[in-house]
Amino acid sequence: MRFASSLIVLAAGLAASAAFAQKPGSFGNLPPPPQAPAWRGPAPSPQATLPRDKPPPLGAVAPRGGPGPVPRAPGALAALPTAKPPPLGRIAPGGPGPQAGPGPGAPGRRQMVSSGTGFVVAPRQIMTNQHVAEGCSSMTARLANGGEIAATVIASDRNRDLALLRTDGDPGPVLPFRRAADVRRGENVVTYGFPLAGLLSSGPTLTTGDVSALAGLQDNPRQIQISAPVQQGNSGGPLLDLRGHVVGVIVSKLNAQRIAQATGDIPQNVNFAVKHTEAVDFMREHGVQPVLEDAGAARTAAEVGDIAHASTVFLRCLR
């Protein structure tokens, strides 16, 4: 009887345990965890969806009602240039720029293809670089007073890079050369000329510097190295000492871009001039007698510029 009673009690306990385990979320005597409320907000707007198509490229617009770029109408966006600008001294077709005559293409029309500097070395005689006068069908010289006269090449020397021009009129007073042959390192010098014609000032430019070395590029004995800045267009201009005497003819500057490519460093103020002794010998070889001077008081660079101004000309090479 006791055994039967025990079985009845055990069966009732197991039934109670099964019923307790079937309650959802129950664990012991702890209350069930809170349920998160269901989201009842508005449905996402169709405008909030991210675009799936790429934006049209620059210079094009997407058509109304259809994907994909189409070309923009002409004039809606300025097109980028596809051609290189003309080099200095040349003229773009139909564009502005220095020009002699009405323009190329018709009979009698000539175009300025390069420019440089020259200076008076004898009555109606001008000196410049050979590379300034090379290939010119004719040349003109603009004087200090603004007038222009024709100039003709009468002698040139490719090795020295010098040329002599004869003018139709009086180009100005003669600049004297230094009589003494020596030039010292560290000596102050002045350049005078017309660099970057059409880009910088239309008038002459003066720069100052020193004699850096007594030989040119790769030990060229015909040249000296100077620190006075020079640019394209300075070629053929005078290099003067502080007494106003010519001690060289400006010829070139070091190609900084090529040197930087070769060495990784950009050279500073490395420029060259033909020695005045070479210029004097060149003149004598062609029957032109130079004016040589030693005397004279030291002047300021501005005073030397005043001396050079009346004798320095702007040269145009025409074809």
Active site residues per annotation: 131, 161, 235
**Which of 114, 120, 117 has the alpha carbon at shortest distance from 134?**
114
Query: Where does residue 37 rank: exposed (0-12), middle (13-18), buried (19+ CB within 10 A)?
Result: exposed
Torsion over CA of 111, 161, 212 and 196, rounded to 10 degrees?
A: 0
Cβ proximity of 99 and 197 under 8 Å: no
CA–CA distance from 203 to each of 112, 198, 254, 285, 313 (Å)? 18, 10, 24, 33, 10
| SS3 category, 165 | strand
Token pair belonging to 271: 């420029």
d(CA 85, CA 67): 38
**Which of 110, 113, 116 has the alpha carbon at shortest distance from 129?**
116
End-to-end CA distance of the chain, in Å?
Answer: 140
Cβ proximity of 242 and 304 under 8 Å: yes
